[in-house]
Structure 1
């Protein structure tokens, strides 16, 4: 019972983090686009919308357990991309807190990799996915 509760709580935390990120983007799409443009990316408004939609997809996968391992791996790649693009070494000189933000992304990656390997658990988890098909581990 404790493992099941921990897995469900972890899924809720993953979903909550990405839901908040998507919510902030939807609430201030122009601000998000400005932040993306400031990092030097082209088509910032399009990228902001794509990021928000992607994050909503991650939320759905973490809550439902469908394509859970795939979503966790994609989220991990996304989180590391964000670390380097927005908090990487070029940002540390002007603000040492950026180094902390950068490192935090790697701890999040560790949790996502662990989740990807072990799956969504056996409770409240759709049995859809390409990776680890038919395997809903309880860790």
Structure 2
């Protein structure tokens, strides 16, 4: 029972983070686009919309368990991309908080990789997907 509770809580945290990220993007799409542009990316408004819908899809998968391993793997790749693009070593000079944000993303990445390998758990999960956690990725 404790394992099921821990897995469900972890899925709620993973999914909740992406729900909040998407909600902030939808609520302030232009602000998100401006932040993306400040990192040097072109077409920042379309990228902001893509990010919001992608994060929504990740949240659905992580919360329901459907395509869980695939979503966790994609989320991990996305999170490490964000870490380097928005909080990477080129931003650490004179901004110690950026290093902290980078480390936060790195630890989140580690958790997502662990989740991708171990799957959504045995209970409260729609168990569909192309990757099977019981055979490894």
- TM-score band, normalised by shorter chain: over 0.9
How big is the shift at 1:104?
1.0
Which residue matches 1:19? 19
The worse-fitting range, judged by mean Cα deviation, of 89-98 and 38-47 is: 89-98
* Structure 2 spans left out of the alignment, 5+ residues: none
Q: How far does residue 53 in structure 1 lie from its aligned partner after superposition?
A: 0.2
For normalisation by structure 1, the TM-score amounts to 0.94
What root-mean-square deviation, in Å, do the aligned CA atoms of Structure 1 and Structure 2 show?
1.2
Question: Gaps spanning 5+ residues in structure 1: where?
Answer: none
Matched ranges for 1:89-108 at <5 A: 89-108=89-108
1:75 maps to what in 2?
A: 75
Greater Cα offset, 93-102 or 46-55: 93-102
Aligned length: 135
- Runs of 4+ off more than 2 Å: none
Show the counterpart of 2:129. Answer: 129
TM normalised by structure 2 equals 0.95
- In 2, the alpha carbon distance for the partners of 1:127 and 1:19 equals 21
Distance 2:83 2:55 in 1: 16
CA-CA distance at 1:94 after TM superposition: 3.0
Deviations 1:78-101 (A, max 9, x none): 000000000001111131110111
CA distance in 2, matches of 1:59, 1:13: 10
